[in-house]
A and B are shown apart, each in its own frame.
Chain A
Amino acid sequence: GDSVTQMEGPVTLSEEAFLTINCTYTATGYPSLFWYVQYPGEGLQLLLKATKADDKGSNKGFEATYRKETTSFHLEKGSVQVSDSAVYFCALLSGAGSYQLTFGKGTKLSVIP
C-alpha cells in the first residue's frame, strides 16, 4: 500500500536558519504530493502541492520539488521565522479512485529567536 516516510522530529532551529524536512514516499501510479502545516491548537492548512514529476510547489517561502526518480518531496525554506513553528506533514494522494490522503507522521519544528 501507499506510505509516506518523513524525517522524525522534533527539529529546533534558530531564526533565519535554513530548513530541510525530508519526505519520501511509496505509491502505485503517479500520486499528487502535498505539504500540510498544523499550528498549535488548529487543524491542517495546505502549504504547497505538486501533481507531477519535476513540479515545484511553493508558498510563503517554502518550496518542495516532486522527484519521481528518488520518490521524494523534501520541504525547504531558506530563512525560517519564529512564526514557522508548527508541525509539518507530508502527504500523498494516489487517486486511483480512493481519494484518501496518506500522511507521514509529522515533523515538529520549533524556531527560537
Chain B
Amino acid sequence: EAGVTQSPTHLIKTRGQQATLRCSPISGHTSVYWYQQALGLGLQFLLWYDEGEERNRGNFPPRFSGRQFPNYSSELNVNALELEDSALYLCASSPREGRAKNIQYFGAGTRLSVL
C-alpha cells in the first residue's frame, strides 16, 4: 500500500512569488492535514481538510490556503512568499473511521526555500 506522497520534494522560490505544494493521501483516507516545520519553531499545524471541506486552521495568515479535491488529494498554496516561509511542509492523512481514525500518517515533506 502506498503511503502519503508529496510533490515536489524541493521547491525554490523568490520573495513575493506563489508556491503550490501537493499531497496524495493513503488510499481510503479522507482527511488531509498540513504542518509547517520551520527551523527553531518546531512543527505547527496549518490546515485540516476532510471530505473536501476545510475543517480547522492553525494560526497562519490567509495567504496560506489550500483545497481538497474529490479524490481526497490536496494542495497547499502560499501566496506572497516571505523569507520566513522557508520550511519543510509535511502532509498527513488519516481515515474517517476505524481503529486508525486518530492516527495521522505523514509524507516525506516538501522543502520550500524562499530566496
> Are these two chains actual partners, yes or no?
yes
Interface residues of A (CB under 8 A from B): 32, 34, 36, 42-46, 49, 51, 89, 93, 95, 98-106
- Tally chain B residues at the interface, Cβ within 8 Å: 23
Contacts of B4 in A (CB 8 A): 43
Task: State the CA gap A91–B107 with chains docked (Å).
Answer: 17
**Smallest CB separation, A99 vs chain B (Å):** 6
B32-68 with Cβ < 8 A to chain A: 33, 35, 42-43, 45, 48, 55-56, 58
Q: Give the dominant DSSP class at B's interface.
A: strand
**Smallest CB separation, A68 vs chain B (Å):** 17
Contacts of A34 in B (CB 8 A): 103
Task: State the CA gap A4–B60 with chains docked (Å).
Answer: 20
- Total of A-B residue pairs, C-beta within 8 Å: 53
Task: State the CA gap A105–B56 with chains docked (Å).
Answer: 22
Contacts of A43 in B (CB 8 A): 4, 6, 90, 106-109
Task: State the CA gap A71–B66 with chains docked (Å).
Answer: 35
Contact across chains for B48 and A44 when beta carbons are under 8 A apart: no
Taking the complex as formed, is B104 at the interface, i.e. its CB lies under 8 A from any CB of chain A?
A: yes
Task: State the CA gap A70–B56 with chains docked (Å).
Answer: 30
